[in-house]
A and B are shown apart, each in its own frame.
Chain A
Amino acid sequence: MVRLSETEVDVGADAALEGSYPVLPSERVWTTWPMFAISVSLAIATWDFLIGGFVAYYLGALDGILVMTAGSLVGIFLIILVCLPVATKYGVDSIVSSRPQLGVRGSSLAMIAQFVSVVGWNCLLLIFLGHAAAEILIANGVFDESIRSELEVIFGLLGVAAVWVLLRGGPQHMRRVGPYVAIAIVALSVLILILLLVNVGPGKIFDAKPVASSGSRQWDMATGFEILIAVTLAWWPYVGGMMRLAPSSRSALWPSVTGLALAVVLVSTIGLWSGLAIPDSGGDPTTYLVELGGLTTGTIALVFIVLANIDTAMVGVYVSAIGLKQLPFVQKRVSWNMTVGLTLAPVAVVVLFFSGWAFEHIGTFLAFVGLVFAPVIGVQLVDYYLLRRQRLNVRALYQTEAGSPYYYWHGFNAVGIVSIGIGFATYLYLLDPVNFTSRAPYEYISASIPSGVVAAAAYFLLTKLVVMPMRLGDYESASPERSPAGAPATATTMMKSPEGG
């Protein structure tokens, strides 16, 4: 039996919490309330205002809320199904859980997608943080309007530094901070909502027509629905990382559903209504808060944006750093603080040199994020629920040598990658994410859901026709008679046990 000293156990716990190793039940510290608070603080961010502002192009005040809520709930349904059971059963994150579908090396593709998407989200957050901080100082007469751009960059970089400092304590620190920030965020969100109702008036908001309706009711509703699904699916890397810290599936289920799906609708509603009432704003509150609420209230609300963005960026950088820890060199040689720094470095570069360009192209980025994750989720769902009967070979998730159960072809599962590619093509056929032009039947079925369904169907068929006959992927151990307790028959034979030395 391997015996570890207390210090070594601490090192091991850090390796799991701050790396890719399975988290043991005793280390799962996020119970119901912290999970709800972290979910709320993840969901509430500046991008929600822009999402609502985008929906205001196509839908009105009431139908916009209904469609956004529907899209958000359907998206969270898929996220819960794909992330929650695996993360809480085995204590692994989203990237590790993609190895049975993509291969032990192929999962690096998911890691790249995760890293790029989280960097993009954080660029958006910290650029907006800079906008809000600059507006606070200019509106209060501290600095002149002529240096707004410089202030935005400086405060964006200060935001990057703040996130790095806050994350030096690891996830335990995030747990301590998250709930309190979430309470403040929810309270301030309601304040902004009241401000909008009192100053603009519900009549003007509810009478306002969509800013750029396509003329097709079906198309407008499908687009509002699609945007919220895509945004929710983009939480795939975040949610897996969060849920592995929950002690059980049940304790994480409703805190996640309510905290993520409904919180995003709450703040997006502010963006929707402001986009309708103040069409030039595009839902961006930094452009109207001081004018609408006066200096004091406007400043408080802008401070809310700064706090919300730091908190959300903190969660994103944590999850992204966990993703980087999947690389063996980073896992074993690079400290947690340095890994966080590596995750933030590209964000700092974008904030410093490309903030204007990134701001103008962020809509395209968001659409591509949705495009990427829908097929991945479709493939994972069909693999875990239908082909593997909710059983993974947890030991094989970490075996990288040739011939190991999830090695497939040179570490890549070509069937998984091809199926995801088919899903991409389906999405692109239905909806051009750059120009938002579409082909039938997009207006009836949107784009993310069908692309995920097509990818799942392709994976199911190709796995049955190609992978299973070649006895790759360890599918035989998923049959009930081979593995009654979730411990695959190959688990003890593929690697030596600690006792065996």
Chain B
Amino acid sequence: MSTTAAFDEELERRLDSVSRPENQGDPLTSSDYLQLVVVTLAVPVVLMIGAWFA
């Protein structure tokens, strides 16, 4: 098997695998997104207000 052919077959094997939902990483949940928004958007608003009056 040539190197190029091995790489192409390897890519095929991987694409076949990750195309299946069971082989795809778990997504963030709604709760994760909510927590993310609170920590990285709501908190900065509070911090900027605090900085204005600091």
Contacts and interface: CB of A to CB of B under 8 A. Distances in A.
A67 B18 contact: no
Contacts of B25: 25, 28, 88-91, 246-249
A70 interface: yes
A16 interface: yes
B10 A11 contact: yes
Contact of B23 (A24, A67, A69, A246): A24
A253 B36 contact: yes
A360 B23 CA distance: 48
Given A12-B14, A66-B50, A487 B39 contact: no
A418 to B, nearest CB: 29
Contacts, number: 142
A395 B12 CA distance: 9
B18 A2 contact: no
Given A60-B54, A247-B25, A249-B26, A2 B13 contact: yes
Given A25-B23, A332-B7, A63 B51 contact: yes
A71 B47 CA distance: 10
Contacts of A486: 21, 24
B54 A4 contact: no
Is the interface on chain B under 10, 10 to 19, 20 to 34, or 35 or more residues? 35 or more
Task: Determine chain B's interface SS by DSSP, over half rule.
Answer: helix
Given A498-B9, A498-B12, A84 B28 contact: yes
A228 B28 CA distance: 25
Interface in B1-49: 1, 3-4, 6-7, 9-21, 23-29, 32, 36-37, 39-41, 43-45, 47-48
A331 B39 contact: no
Contacts of A73: 39-41, 43-44, 47
Given A89-B25, A217-B52, A487-B19, A257 B36 contact: yes
B28 A22 contact: no
The 4 A-B pairs of least Cβ separation, nearest first, read: A77-B40, A88-B25, A70-B44, A66-B51
Interface of B: 1, 3-4, 6-7, 9-21, 23-29, 32, 36-37, 39-41, 43-45, 47-48, 50-52, 54
